């Protein structure tokens, strides 16, 4: 199972997180990041053999990408392309062949369940046909996007609480981010074996995903990432043993 993380956001754990993840989604100026931070993140990725992709967002540095801008969809699409181009150009100059991108924060969550926002990201993906899109596993966005011939990688979150409909619990609500590494490890293990995870309302949910995300902007980011890496190693070891 591939582990990805949202990095280059000015948090203190990046250098250590690059040692634990397989893919890094690099902030490219919408909610965080600039040319210098992108180069620094890409340098760490090169050092640790980590695949990189762009992490575009609503243009809202003050609110860390939480506010959708007013205006026409075309204006937002142009802004997202500007962020993508900034990242793609820097990554190419540093020798990367990028293969994915992942929207950030509120843009990501809006697209998962809002057809209009999902359509916007479909247009963004069409502008970069060599890239796969990371999206919330089993959300309506996945089917809409694949119907347009765009490759989607379905993503799940060991360090986030889920609602019964498969949406992530908004960060504005208590308990949205899991801060117990043992619980994070258990949720990662359940996601990998496609077993049920407990939702915030006490119901259970089964999520089929191809990659697990750990967040770099939480107090327990490093401990959580280590817990997920351990869960992946144990899962892979068990699978190998079972095959023999």
Per-block average pLDDT, block size 10, for the chain (244 residues)? 96 94 98 98 97 98 94 96 98 96 97 98 98 98 98 98 97 94 98 96 97 92 97 89 61
Residue 69 · residue 57 · CB < 8 Å: no
Q: What does the pLDDT read at residue 221?
A: 94
Q: What does the pLDDT read at residue 239?
A: 75
Q: What are phi and psi of 29, to 5 degrees?
A: 105, -10
- Return the closest-CA partner of residue 20 out of 164, 231, 194, 176: 231
Sketch out the chain's domains with CATH numbers.
Answer: 2-243 (3.20.20.370)
Q: What does the pLDDT read at residue 242?
A: 67
Q: What does the pLDDT read at residue 243?
A: 54
Q: What does the pLDDT read at residue 238?
A: 83
């Amino acid at each position: 199972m591939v582990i990805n993380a949202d990095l280059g956001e000015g948090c203190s754990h990046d250098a250590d997180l690059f040692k634990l993840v397989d893919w890094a989604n690099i902030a490219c100026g919408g909610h965080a990041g600039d040319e210098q931070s992108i180069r620094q993140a890409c340098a760490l990725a090169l050092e640790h053999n980590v695949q990189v992709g762009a992490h575009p967002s609503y243009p809202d540095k003050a609110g860390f990408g939480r506010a959708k801008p007013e205006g026409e969809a075309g204006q937002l699409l142009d802004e997202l392309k500007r962020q993508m181009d900034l990242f793609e150009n820097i990554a190419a100059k540093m020798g990367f062949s990028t293969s994915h991108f992942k929207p950030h924060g509120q843009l990501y969550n809006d697209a998962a369940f809002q057809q209009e926002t999902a359509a916007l990201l479909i247009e963004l993906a069409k502008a970069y046909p060599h890239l796969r899109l990371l999206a919330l596993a089993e959300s309506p966005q996945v089917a809409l996007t694949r119907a347009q011939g765009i490759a989607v990688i379905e993503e799940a979150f060991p360090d986030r609480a889920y609602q019964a409909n498969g949406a992530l619990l908004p960060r504005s609500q208590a308990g949205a981010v899991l801060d117990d590494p043992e619980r994070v490890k258990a949720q990662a293990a359940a996601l990998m074996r496609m077993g049920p995870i407990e939702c915030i309302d006490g119901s259970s949910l089964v999520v089929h995903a191809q990659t697990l995300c750990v967040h770099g902007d939480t107090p327990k980011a490093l401990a959580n990432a280590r817990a997920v890496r351990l869960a992946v190693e144990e899962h892979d070891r068990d699978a190998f043993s079972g095959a023999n």
